[in-house]
A and B are shown apart, each in its own frame.
Chain A
Amino acid sequence: MMTTTEYRNLAIGAALFILAACLPFVGGAYLLTIGVTIAMYTVLATSWALFSGPTHYISLATAAFFGLGTYTTGLGFEHLDYWLLVPLAAILGAALAAIVGVATLRLSGVYFVIFTLGLAELIRQLVTWGQNVSGQKGLYVLTDLTEVHIYWQLLVLAALVYLTGWLIGRSRLGFALRIIGDDEEVARHSGINTARAKVLLFMVSGAAAAATGAILAPRYIYIEPALAFTPMLSFQVVIMALLGGTGRLWGPVVGVIPFTFLWEAISASFPNQTTLLLGLCFLAIVFILPKGFVGLLTTIRTRMNAREAFS
């Protein structure tokens, strides 16, 4: 069933993961911190693009799922085995995505964007209210997990996200989503259950974002709603995925890596203007690279082919 190119891509992917897994042995503490950030955004942006790439629905719910995941760890780590928390967060994330998806994916794109943004805020307010009632400000997540453990866990999660994306791409579900992205009316009239396909993919991205939050909670040590549910996260994920391009599975990571370094520089030099600069980055990407690096590459390739055809 598999073609040679697919075997080659799989081999390249596996090699890159092994290389990435070696980072803690060669790099210092600073590189590892960057590595964790990149791995985190790779999972978030890639799983975001699995849903938003083909459907063109812009979800700003990443922070809601991520926060749900951090709170799963925060509230559960003293009661449950740590290794159960990440899968549990994924299940909760998928369930939340299913509820939100069933309620909103019938809406047109604009309403969906606003609803997802509102969702993260709503949950944040609920958690804040809950903490006020119980008299706590935040939660301490004290574990003996180090940065290296977190990094490796994120890498495994990233590998799972890529594998899921690759399997979906080869499946009827993946084909259905491409058709939905092209013309939803045609999709419906071809016999595709469009609502189910969209909800399923939204669940995958919700599960991945919640699992990421659950893995990262021990790194924050102290979690509070403003940190766990920050809307900034949702916007950053969208920007990175769009910068890389959502047309390919490997697109988002191509955006994540340069953006992480850019963001490090911005946060260090202009700590008070981050939101403004994030907005500028967003505008720049939309105007200069509307289809991301993936789109740029496709354009260049087409032009080169055209030139060959004329010469």
Chain B
Amino acid sequence: MRADAPVLSLRGATKRFGGLVAVNEIDFDVAEHEVMGLIGPNGSGKSTTLNLISGALKPTSGTISLRGTPIGHLSAQEIARRGISRTFQLVRLLPSMTVLDNVRAGAVFGHRRRWGAEADAHAMKMLELVGLARRAHAHVGQLTYIDTKRVELARTLASDPKVLLLDEWLAGLNPTELTEGIALIRRLREEGRTIILVEHVMDAIRSLCDRCVVMSSGTKIAEGTPTEVLSDPEVIRAYLGDDDA
């Protein structure tokens, strides 16, 4: 395998919900250490694309491969073990557990599996990374919104993923939190992680992404650097045609 072979590639990935084609023949590659933005107006199929990659949904057709191995037919747990880890657009935590136990879930069962003191130490390290170590023993019900997002991020990081899928991780944060959030993802970028970032926050896309894929109504309409795609007339039209953009 060549050194610059993509970590993740999608070829003709398609998902239909009855008559609706939510993801239509999408092709793209993600290289190692790359931060790729997946952007597009509401309902354009970004989350569905992440669901296909993480195994939450099975593609109707097309292939998804991780380092050349097809994974489209695998279950979510097998894909997680092979090193693809995600956050959810609507934060999903384990409500009966402490912050630390939430993060341990990733450390114990993920791509690299740990147990006992090793898992605890690793989970703690991830909490430090996201800046939440002092809340380790708090119950997740007591957290502020950004802190719940931090816990979820720490849980996905704790599995030592090869590819990280972040679905609007910055959405819903106030301006101060947003600055902190962008700084945190920049730190992950500097660590050399491979990330697919679904985002609506333009500042974040400009400052964090190496490359962007733009979707509209399930189809890829542009691909390139953030500056290129954001000045593409078709992209502008897709966003302006949408009230929420």
B-binding residues in A (CB < 8 A) = 1, 172, 175-176, 178-179, 181-183, 185-194
Contact = CB atoms under 8 A, between A and B. Distances in A.
B109 A191 contact: yes
Contact of A190 (B95, B96, B116, B155): B155
A178 B80 contact: no
Nearest to A185: B92
A188 B74 CA distance: 12
B94 interface: yes
| The 7 nearest A-B residue pairs measured at CB | A191-B80, A182-B94, A188-B76, A191-B109, A191-B81, A190-B109, A190-B105
Interface of B: 54-56, 75-77, 80-81, 85-86, 88, 92-97, 104-106, 108-111, 113, 115-116, 155, 159
Contacts of B111: 191
A284 to B, nearest CB: 25
A58 B86 CA distance: 31
Nearest to A182: B94
A186 B104 contact: no
A189 B85 contact: yes
Contacts, number: 67
Contacts of B113: 191
27 contacts: A1-B116, A172-B108, A172-B109, A175-B104, A175-B105, A176-B109, A178-B94, A181-B96, A182-B94, A182-B97, A183-B92, A185-B92, A186-B93, A186-B94, A186-B105, A188-B75, A189-B55, A189-B77, A189-B85, A189-B86, A190-B106, A190-B109, A190-B110, A191-B80, A191-B109, A191-B159, A192-B109
A192 B155 CA distance: 14
Contacts of A191: 77, 80-81, 109-111, 113, 159
A187 B92 CA distance: 11
A190 B92 contact: no
Most chain A beta carbons < 10 A, residue from B76, B81, B106: B76
Contacts of A183: 92-95
A185 B106 CA distance: 13
Contacts of B105: 175, 179, 186-187, 190
A265 B110 CA distance: 52
A188 B108 contact: no
A185 to B, nearest CB: 7
B97 A172 contact: no
B108 A175 contact: yes
B75 to A, nearest CB: 7
